[in-house]
Amino acid sequence: MIKELIVVEGKNDAHAVRLALGEVDIIWTDGYGLTRKKLEYIAETANRQGVIVFTDPDTVGEQIRNRIRRHVPKAKHVYLTRKVATKQGDIGVENAALEEIRRAFAQIRQEQFEIGQFSIEDLIQVGLAGTGHAKECRFELGRKLGIGDCNAKQFLHRLNRFGISRQEFFQVLKEVQHGERR
């Protein structure tokens, strides 16, 4: 049972999350119309019960997530990939299958405030940057790690920001690469 307040963008997102997870505490931002008052409420709630940010995997969703991150550094984060959140060209949490929402919430991430252990050279060395298939591999790896899909620079940032260990990274990379060979 999730005790934290879950922050989503809209009412339809909240409905999808409740269908997937049951009765959970949710607030929606009304998209990018996140008011100062609502942001302050989210920050206060983070101190009492914790907060999980679950925005759409698009530009606006990332902008909302970053705005909350600046005001609520203790917030936890959950990501969907664009692929699982897209239906008929529309990207949003409300479009994801309930199982994908559950899978995302099984990998709640919290930012770490330590120096990261990954560099761009690490990504290049394992083919996650600078190769023809890097994007697809990064997206699948991001899904399995629970950090979403993004470009190489953002992927590197998320690996370090969420304190993903080298052991976890290489184990999941091995699974992804093994799945590609089938």
What the block records as the tokens of 108 is: 């709640």
166-182 pLDDT per residue, tens: 999 999 999 988 876 54
More confident residue, 111 or 24: 24
Residue located via tokens 């697809």: 136
Instruction: Give me the residue spans of the domains in the chain.
Output: 1-111, 114-181
Q: Which of 3-7, 33-37, 175-179 has the lowest mean pLDDT?
A: 175-179
0.75 exceeded by pTM: yes
101-122 pLDDT per residue, tens: 999 999 999 988 666 789 999 9
Chain-centroid distance of CA 56 in Å reads 9
- pLDDT score, position 179: 73
- pLDDT score, position 182: 46
CB 13 within 8 A of CB 60: no
SS3 87: strand
CATH code linked to domain 1-111: 3.40.1360.10
